[in-house]
């Protein structure tokens, strides 16, 4: 921490204002609007920091300005550095960092829509969260926002990038799809079967969850967090709980940490098994898909036996977990997972013997390492493209610091690599569950809640099955939640798909999409 502070001060001395520490290994730096771009660039280029996400807060009541927070992570020390800059209402332009940090693209556009600030110099300032039909003057995350009785419709339309030339066709797909999946629009420009360009238009499921969370009690906030993305309920709930705990200064008991590991890995298990099954289904290998769906069902029933919920809902509370694991429960869990693992291994063995399956997934939908790095891909998608990044190991939250596990990394970046990463992670998850059950100490499984401290903010982070998931919560002067930022892995990974499909053919798109398995709901929030 001290070292990072010195380095930041030494490198940026003249450019930055105040610099201070915040609980949870966080360093905050105040920078002037004009110097944001050089500060961001030197943090990344000179200090080897990783840009994680950016968001805005409306603090006009206290500071008389909006604040934009740029969050960086110094992986080696596990230290977060947050650069904050003020943007006044009468001059709502903030400098866009997108030309230097491509991953900021969507995040800055989100701020434009939700706060009505303007990203100056953004290469693509179109609407993102709100569609063109939404009135341009309404920005829900501003504190003085009031929803009008009748929402006027402006009737404007989104303009897609056009590819022109002989034999180039546009294929519009969605937002209503044939399967039971969520809404999202895909616009392909193709010549024959090969894809020249894909543009995605999402945010049909924007539910304003961040806004809904304002003023909620911690218990209610967790309920909302669980509904950000249905199959990653527990990850979002845990990240949210971590932030809430640090806001009220709670230290959760060691036993709860281990139980959280068990639950988080159970979530990873059923997600990954389901994803691999989806890949098999999309290449028309019904046998494999059917068998893995059966195993997924076992896993979900196991979830229900352990927590009472197939989707592990309501299992985590601020201060620990809702239910203890009994001795018999532990034995049951260990036995069942052992059986399921054996079953899973048998099916996967068959997978690799089906040449036609391997032929479909190999070299399909390649995401090059440079692309994944530039757009800061996360989760299995990044790990399949050679990026060694896993918050479980890098920040060792819950009890991950006490457990031994591997982080599988593959370098090809194709559908096969993404499947292999998941298969290995399933193995690691089984191992982690057994380890955690064995090492689990006796004692309390939750502590009593304390009220949230006023005027604070905290960050919670979890490596969800899809990748890094952050929850940042700020309280006002009375200890009420006044801003809740959810940074979901799908929001980061969706833009990657536009690159993954290039040089592929249209009928392979569903497979590529499935191999990334991105959440529409988690993306749209």
Q: SS3 helix, strand, coil % of the chain, rounded to 5?
A: 45, 20, 40
183 or 479, CB closer to another protein? 183
Which residues, 257 to 296, sit near another protein by CB under 8 A?
A: 280, 282-287, 289-291, 293-294
Q: Is 360 in the site for another protein (CB under 8 A)?
A: yes
Looking at the Cβ atoms of 26 and 201, the one nearer to another protein is 201
Token digits of residue 267: 């979530």
Closer to another protein at the Cβ: 357 or 437? 357
Which helix (DSSP H) or strand (DSSP E) does residue 56 occupy? strand 50-59
Exactly one of 19, 223, 354, 409 binds another protein (CB under 8 A); that residue is 354
Characterise 216 by phi-psi region: left (phi > 0), alpha (psi -120 to 50), beta (else): beta
CB atoms inside a 10 Å sphere around CB 118: 17
Element (H, E) at 59: strand 50-59
The span from the CA of 225 to the CA of 243, in Å, is 12
CA distance 382 to 229: 20
- By beta-carbon proximity to another protein, the closer residue of 354 and 409 is 354
Find the shortest distance in angstroms from Cβ 505 to another protein: 6
Interface segment toward another protein; rule CB under 8 A; list 124-132, 405-413, 453-461, 500-508: 500-508
Q: Under rule CB under 8 A, which residues in 126-145 are in contact with another protein?
A: none
Looking at residues 51 to 110 of the shown chain, list those that interact with another protein (rule: CB under 8 A): none
Binding to another protein by CB under 8 A, coded x per residue (else -) over 433-472, reads ----------------------------------------
Q: Cβ of residue 298: shortest distance to another protein, in angstroms?
A: 11
Nearest to another protein of 103, 417 (CB atom) = 417
- The residue within the footprint of another protein, chosen from 349, 356, 404, 448 (CB under 8 A), is 356
Structure tokens given for 255: 């036993």
Secondary structure element (H or E) that encloses residue 109, with its range: helix 104-115
Nearer to another protein, 193 or 346 (CB): 193
Q: How far is the CB of 230 from another protein (least distance, A)?
A: 19
Residues with Cβ within 8 Å of residue 347, at least 6 apart in sequence: 288, 291, 292, 295
Q: Could you tell me how many residues of this chain bind another protein (CB under 8 A)?
A: 33
Q: Give the other-Cβ count within 10 Å of 120's Cβ.
A: 13
- The residue among 293 and 309 lying less far from another protein, judged by its C-beta, is 293
- Cα dist from 119 to 100, 105, 111, 124, whole Å: 13, 10, 8, 10
How far CA 7 is from CA of 41, 54, 83, 85, in Å, comes to: 15, 22, 15, 20
With respect to another protein, which residue has the nearer C-beta, 240 or 511? 511
Cis amide prior to 175 (ω within 30 degrees): yes
| Residue number, 334 or 358, with CB nearest to another protein | 358
- Contact at 8 Å (CB) between 322 and 313? no
Residues 164-193 that bind another protein (CB under 8 A): 169, 171-173, 177-179, 192-193
Near another protein by CB under 8 A: residue from 357, 381, 395, 461? 357
Please report the beta strands in 125-178, taking only residues with DSSP state E, as ranges in sequence order. 168-173
Q: Interface with another protein by CB under 8 A: which residues?
A: 169, 171-173, 177-179, 192-193, 280, 282-287, 289-291, 293-294, 354, 356-357, 359-360, 505-511
């Amino acid at each position: 921490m001290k070292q990072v502070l010195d380095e930041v001060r030494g490198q940026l001395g003249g450019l930055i204002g105040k610099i201070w520490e915040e609980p949870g290994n966080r360093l905050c730096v105040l920078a002037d609007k004009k110097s944001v771009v050089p500060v961001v660039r030197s943090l990344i280029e000179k200090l080897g920091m990783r840009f994680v996400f950016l968001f805005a807060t409306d603090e006009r009541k206290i500071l008389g300005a909006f604040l934009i927070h740029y969050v960086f992570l110094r992986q080696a020390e596990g230290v977060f550095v947050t650069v904050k800059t003020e943007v006044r209402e009468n001059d709502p332009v903030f400098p866009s960092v997108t030309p230097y940090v491509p991953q900021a693209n969507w995040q800055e556009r989100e701020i434009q829509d939700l706060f009505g600030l303007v990203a100056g110099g953004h290469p693509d300032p179109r609407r993102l969260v709100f569609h063109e039909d939404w009135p341009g003057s309404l920005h829900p995350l501003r504190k003085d926002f009031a929803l009008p009785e009748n929402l006027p419709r402006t009737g404007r339309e989104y303009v897609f990038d056009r590819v022109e030339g002989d034999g180039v066709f546009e294929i519009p797909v969605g937002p209503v799809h044939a399967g039971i999946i969520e809404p999202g629009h895909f616009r392909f420009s193709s010549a024959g079967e090969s894809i020249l360009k894909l543009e995605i238009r999402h945010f049909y499921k924007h539910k304003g969850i961040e806004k809904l969370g304002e003023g909620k009690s911690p218990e209610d906030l967790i309920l909302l967090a669980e509904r950000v993305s249905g199959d990653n309920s527990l990850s979002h709930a845990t990240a949210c709980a971590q932030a809430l705990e640090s806001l009220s200064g709670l230290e959760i008991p060691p036993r709860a940490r281990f139980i959280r590991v068990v639950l988080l890995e159970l979530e990873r298990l059923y997600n990954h098994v389901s994803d691999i099954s989806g890949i098999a289904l999309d290449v028309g290998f019904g046998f494999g898909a059917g068998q893995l769906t059966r195993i997924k069902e076992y896993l979900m029933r196991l979830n229900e036996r352990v927590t009472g919920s197939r989707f592990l809902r309501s299992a985590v509370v601020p201060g620990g977990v809702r239910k203890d694991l009994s001795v018999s429960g532990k034995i049951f869990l260990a036995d069942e997972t052992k059986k399921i693992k054996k079953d899973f291994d048998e099916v996967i063995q068959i997978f690799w013997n089906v040449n036609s399956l391997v032929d479909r997934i190999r070299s399909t939908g390649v995401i090059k390492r440079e692309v994944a790095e530039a757009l800061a891909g996360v989760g299995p998608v990044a790990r399949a493209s050679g990026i060694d990044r896993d918050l479980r190991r890098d920040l060792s939250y819950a009890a991950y610091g006490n457990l031994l596990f591997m982080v599988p990394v593959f370098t090809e970046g194709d559908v096969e690599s993404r499947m292999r990463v998941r298969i290995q992670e399933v193995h690691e998850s089984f191992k982690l569950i057994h380890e955690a059950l064995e090492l689990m100490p006796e004692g309390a499984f939750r502590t009593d809640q304390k009220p949230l401290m006023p005027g604070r903010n905290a960050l919670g982070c979890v490596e969800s099955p899809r990748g890094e998931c952050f929850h940042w919560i700020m309280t006002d002067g009375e200890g009420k939640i006044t801003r809740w930022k959810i940074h979901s892995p799908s929001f980061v990974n969706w833009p990657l798909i536009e690159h993954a499909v290039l040089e592929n053919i249209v009928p392979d798109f569903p497979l590529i999409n499935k191999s990334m398995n991105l959440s529409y709901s988690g993306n749209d929030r």
